[in-house]
Amino acid sequence: MTNAAWKQCIIGFLDGVERDLHADAPAEDKVALQALRSRLEKKRITEARKPYERKIDALIDSRPYLFAAAHRHLGKVVPVAVERAAASLKKARDLLGRVPNKSLQPTATARSASDET
């Protein structure tokens, strides 16, 4: 995944969590999400992806309103993603089923070598 695609994915997740955040959630939760988002929107991220993802996980796990909002958001997004992945796998399986598997058929060189013995 390219850096730009990763950034879009994380920003989309943060936006989704914020959309699913209840109106009575503490203002600090929204401020914390905005702080994470603003660091992503800079030209370059100075830290590696994994530690940044861990910071997001730690923040969401530590705040009940964010935790609930993240689960609501993922509950909407994950089933659609799983359905699309399953459809892609089915399409790939169908396409691969139409291609003759030449690796299982002996080549002309291998046949002539076995005929000589």
Domain extents in the chain:
3-98
Residue 99 and residue 102: Cα distance in Å, rounded? 9
Contact (Cβ atoms closer than 8 angstroms) between residue 68 and residue 45: no
Residue 27 and residue 21: Cα distance in Å, rounded? 11
The pLDDT tens digits for 15-68 are: 999 999 988 999 999 999 999 888 887 756 656 888 889 999 999 999 999 999
Can you give the pTM of this predicted structure? 0.69
Residue 44 and residue 65: Cα distance in Å, rounded? 29
Q: What is the pLDDT of residue 100?
A: 78
In this structure, of 5-9, 34-38, 105-109, the range with the lowest mean pLDDT score is 105-109
Nearest CA to 42 out of 19, 66, 10, 77 is that of 10
